[in-house]
Amino acid sequence: MLHLEVETKFELNADDFEHLKSVGRVTQREEQLNVYYDAGWKLAESSTTLRIRLNSWAHAVLCLKIPVSVTGRRREMREIELALREARPGSFESYHPATIDVSRQLPREFSDYLRYLGVDEVQRVGWVRNTRLLLEFSDAGYVELDHLKLPDGSVLHEVEIEAVNDWTRERLAEKVCQLAPAAVPSRLSKFQRFRLAATRSVPVSQWLPKSDRETAGPSCK
């Protein structure tokens, strides 16, 4: 399945995360295990994510997220998903294999882009656990709250607002800013945060595209 993901995403401190939870209504809770793949960090360095997500109530899903654009707080990603139960026989004997042969095991919509990046095989580089809450504001709509445990023991709190309609997304963003004044736009993906926590070898500033280093776009402050 291929679709365009349009989102606004903020990083939160722990207090604002808890405040949002107390103001909104939690309608769904999902425990996720995100298993990440890369090849010499080529994917992370191009802001691309390849992961297998497992949770308690759905089938394991392979997902490739490809950056399209960042304009202020608006982020566009091309997202390709494949439920592993729908993969061709023999492609995935395990829900989280140690390696994946790009040409042999992946459908063409995955392999074409990865081979464009010069990647013929990817390796499992680690995983993180995430608790996702679907939060409803009666006067604005739904957002997703994430509580991500990183490899170095730190915790990342985020709120994600997904909507193709810009007006709806901005209305929810302003609602979040009112309730969580310390929130700042997320400039790194969860996978990039994972890599930084796992290696602690690359300054955060080097991960940001030049345009993002020059201007972070509107924040809640």
Residue-by-residue DSSP string for 29-50: EEEEEEEEEESTTHHHHTT-EE
pLDDT on residue 108: 94
| Assigned token pair, 211 | 């345009």
- Whether 85 contacts 61, CB under 8 Å: no
pLDDT, residue 71, reads: 82
Q: Are 130 and 149 in contact (CB under 8 A)?
A: yes
Residue with tokens 């654009």, as numbered in its chain: 69
Residue 10: partners with Cβ closer than 8 Å, 6 or more residues away: 158, 159, 173, 176, 180, 183, 184, 185, 186, 220
Which pLDDT value is given to residue 2?
74
Could you tell me if residue 15 is left (phi over 0), alpha (psi between -120 and 50 degrees) or otherwise beta? alpha
Bridge partners, residue 77, by sequence? 5, 67
Homologous superfamily of 2-201 in CATH? Hypothetical Protein Pfu-838710-001 (2.40.320.10)
What is the model's pLDDT at position 212? Answer: 44
Paired with 2 in beta bridges are 80
SS3 (DSSP) at 214:
helix
Listed by start position, the domains of the chain span 2-201
Other residues' Cβ atoms within 10 Å of the Cβ of residue 175: 19
Residue-level pLDDT at 208 = 44
Give the integer Cα–Cα distance in Å for 49 and 167: 27
CB 51 within 8 A of CB 38: no
pLDDT tens over the chain, length 221 residues:
778 888 999 999 999 999 999 999 999 999 999 999 999 999 999 999 999 999 876 789 999 999 998 888 888 999 999 998 888 788 887 888 999 999 999 999 999 999 999 999 999 999 999 999 999 998 889 999 999 999 999 999 999 999 778 899 999 999 999 999 999 999 889 999 999 999 875 554 444 444 443 444 556 76
Q: Which pLDDT score is estimated for 201?
A: 52
